[in-house]
Chains A and B, each alone.
Chain A
Amino acid sequence: MAILTIGGRRTVDVPVGLLGVSMVVAGAMLLPLAYLIVRVAGAGVLWDEISATATREALVRTVVLAAGVTCAATAIAVPLAWLTVRTDLPVRGVWAVVFALPLAVPSYVGAFAFVGALGPRGMLQGALEPLGVDRLPAIYGFWGAWATLTLFTFPYVLLPVRAALRNMDRSFEEAARGLGAGGLETFFRVTLPQLRPAVAAGALLVALYALSDFGAVSILRFDSLTRVIYVRYTSSFDRSSAAALALLLVALSLVIVAIEGSTRGRGRYHAGTRHEAARVVALGWWRWPALACCAAVAAASLVLPLSVMGYWLARGIDAGQSMSFVRETAFNSVYASVLGAALTVAAALPVALLAVRHPGPVSSTIEKITYSGFALPGITIALALVFFAARYATPVYQTLGLLVFAYAVRFLPEAVGACRSALLQVNPNGEQAARGLGRGRAYVFARVTLPQMLPGLSGGAMLVFLTAMKELPATLILSPFGFDTLATQIWHSTTEARFGQAALPALILVAVSSVPMALTMLRDEKAR
């Protein structure tokens, strides 16, 4: 037991081992960023790079993309959430599941599907060829990247907004109606403001996703920062420039996190104790345009990519392409992701334990540090680890261990969140009783706390596993010799325009992520 005195005011008692392990985890989290800063400072290029015109242009492009995607995703998600929660839209439950599923499509798979379908000489053009359509307007560049990222990120806003709409206290709305406000006025002046925290939380995720996305922007040839960083990394002798830009990307992510924090404001909305189902709006004749909108979004974000991949798969099989490589790459993906999930949850556990059972300034600082992974794009982590390991950690350089470590840094926030909520549901009285019976801390944790946390922990591990399966830039840069995963296979095949070979790995990735997601959503819907 250590007695910590902070600022001479507050004393906290914390088991030394737990504190030590947590500090190691926090230190490991900071390592990539710290090394990148040291390296860029050592090269003395930061200011030159930041003030270069090319950098400024890339920065502007990136910000415009992130802002555009965030606005569009919100504009799609809020109405859809309202339609699927508050109206008598036909088959609401089905739509609820359908609109969560685009999250299972990695953005680079979506991008590859769009290029295959809507490229200047893609499937659509082929179908229109007899009508004399020679080529379609190029989907490359900003609009392609914007549309793709919007279609595959809007569920990040939709899910929290749906939850907020469902749990909202209806008395405010009723009061507004009672005071003579119309339906629209009530929505904009009463309902929407209450949704603000949910929208902001979702928008934050969308913005961070758009900033750090590498695959879709590369396939769609939009030079946002991640792509510029990658090209500089692969085609410059002096990699300090890539490192400097990677730091810039982190700074941008932190700005977005800060903006989200400030929009949350100080306002609080309390749900009343009455939990009645909110009034269902009868759509009447409007149900038809509403259904058409839902169908259009589903067609673009699910039906189109799936059918394009099916088409390319069929063509590949027809052409006699061997698909046997997929077994090994699928195994590699699963293997690396399982290791990643295991390490991430193992690292998250002590941090969550410290934060929940021993709250205080030290533990909250450590917890905050672990959340920094949120603002660390995969490409930044990968570069930092490659640079560091090539110079100072050669035994782990180009090993699976380094890739797994990168996953842990990138996804630790997800796992800490899951561990935290799992732990909050464990009643500490049981632990104290066991301690009172003379059992040691470790014993109590293993026999009392951990078993109760298992469902929550496995949920967290599942989440990390699924995101690691889809991760592209870090996997591309860090994977060891000859270690192809589904994600890197899709990447290499699409860059060589061998779409037939990308189709099967892409379908497997989508299937693996969508099944658990669909099951969870269905269970939620049934529970209501």
Chain B
Amino acid sequence: MKSLRVLAAAAALLVAGWFAASCGGDSETLTVYSGRTQSLVQPVLDAFAAETGIDVRVRYGETAEMAATILEEGGNSPADVFFAQDAGALGALAREGRLAVLPQEQLDRVAAHFRSREGVWVGVSGRARVVAYNTENVDPEELPDSILDFTDPAWRGRIGWAPTNGSFQSFVTALRVIEGEDVARAWLEGIKANDPVDYANNTAALEAVANGEVDVAFINHYYLLQFLAERGESFGARNYYIKGQDSGALVNAAGVAVLRTAKHADEAEQLVEFLLSEEAQQYFAETTYEYPLSAGVPADPRLVPLSELATPDIDLGDLADLEGTLDLLRATEVLP
């Protein structure tokens, strides 16, 4: 009988614990949906929580997944803030009318190019598209000026990419916007014909480039500096910047937005403020090696300065048709 009583006590404890756990997200907690990875973002959010005393809970996922989740949840969404890898997903939510207008003085701290025209999202850090190449197998001289030229059969079996990644999808949207639907489709089909290797994300793709699994990968610029810091100069990959002012040289912005349905709008605004502050910008410059976009913080000196990149001349707000890009990626069987 004793074992029964122990069992009952254990059950009661479990139920109590469950309730405690379920109610953990109480009303004072700021809820962030992040399309950026935990290892890059959590330290900043922890610093924000420590400074303001505001509890932050974060849901991590792919940028498109988080955007779709917010749409799925509709008015019930627990999210207060959406922190996206790229402008495309933010634009998609803006189009659906899901984002609140930010205070003008916050918007003004970032160059017009890196924020929403309607004032519903603001860029936090800049990231350039690059072609990472294996230093042993590839001579940077043989790399083409335009991303479009990688459909050349000479690159068969040598390309890695990460089609589920938000930055990649934003790049494809830019390709559609700049070159038109047909060119974008032809490019995707052309790369597909070169048997590219799919990676789950940019980190895995760059690792594969470095150890020679593939020769090049289409990723963002800052992963390389992270790996160099971890593994030293012998790391077997480097970045190549596309010279052709096409979408292969796009500079995108990881950005932040407050949801229209946010239950903690004040705290959300404070988080946006914090992300634009010198302290956070310094973190993005020194730890994630992105381009800081506000507070006059300089980028890592090893990076090509933002002003010297051959960025195509488009408005990041025009990259909102993420849905159209996802449809195209499925139609070309880049995504299953």
Contacts and interface: CB of A to CB of B under 8 A. Distances in A.
B72 A394 contact: no
Nearest to A126: B211
Interface in A254-276: none
12 contacts: A232-B336, A234-B62, A237-B71, A338-B14, A342-B14, A391-B74, A397-B76, A451-B1, A454-B3, A480-B25, A481-B58, A496-B37
B119 interface: no
B287 interface: no
B330 A399 contact: no
B11 A342 contact: yes
Nearest to A495: B200
Contacts of A394: 76, 78
Q: Taking chain B's interface residues, is the majority helix, strand, or loop, or is none over half, making it mixed?
A: helix
Contact of A231 (B58, B204, B212, B335): B335
Given A231-B336, A398-B59, A495-B201, A450 B4 contact: yes
Sorted nearest first, the 8 A-B pairs with minimum C-beta distance are: A495-B200, A234-B65, A481-B57, A497-B204, A399-B22, A228-B336, A497-B207, A121-B211
Given A135-B212, A390-B73, A400-B21, A237 B326 contact: yes
B198 interface: yes
Interface in A181-238: 221, 223, 227-228, 231-238
A239 interface: yes
B33 to A, nearest CB: 10
Contacts, number: 124
Given A54-B330, A390-B76, A233 B65 contact: yes
B203 interface: yes
A79 interface: no
Nearest to A492: B38
A235 B14 CA distance: 36
Interface in B145-181: 164, 169
B81 interface: no
The interface centre, meaning the residue of B64, B76, B333, B336 with most chain A CB atoms within 10 A of its CB, is B336
- Size range of the interface on B? 35 or more
Contacts of B201: 495-496
A396 interface: yes
Given A135-B213, A236-B326, A339 B67 contact: no
A252 to B, nearest CB: 17
Nearest to B11: A342
A235 B64 contact: yes
Interface string A492-524: 100111100000000000000000000000000
Contact of B164 (A231, A391, A446): A231
A482 B58 contact: yes
Contact of B18 (A119, A232, A238, A339): A339
A401 interface: yes
Interface in B322-336: 322-323, 326, 329-330, 333, 335-336
Interface in A403-445: 404
Contacts of A232: 335-336
B61 interface: yes
Contacts of A498: 203
Contacts of A54: 330, 333, 336
B68 interface: yes
A134 interface: yes
A480 B78 CA distance: 12
Contacts of A234: 61-62, 64-65, 68, 164
B76 A391 contact: yes
B336 A399 contact: no
B92 interface: yes
Given A496-B200, A496-B201, 16 more contacts: A119-B213, A120-B213, A121-B213, A228-B336, A234-B68, A235-B326, A236-B330, A237-B64, A239-B72, A338-B14, A339-B14, A339-B18, A399-B21, A481-B57, A496-B203, A497-B203
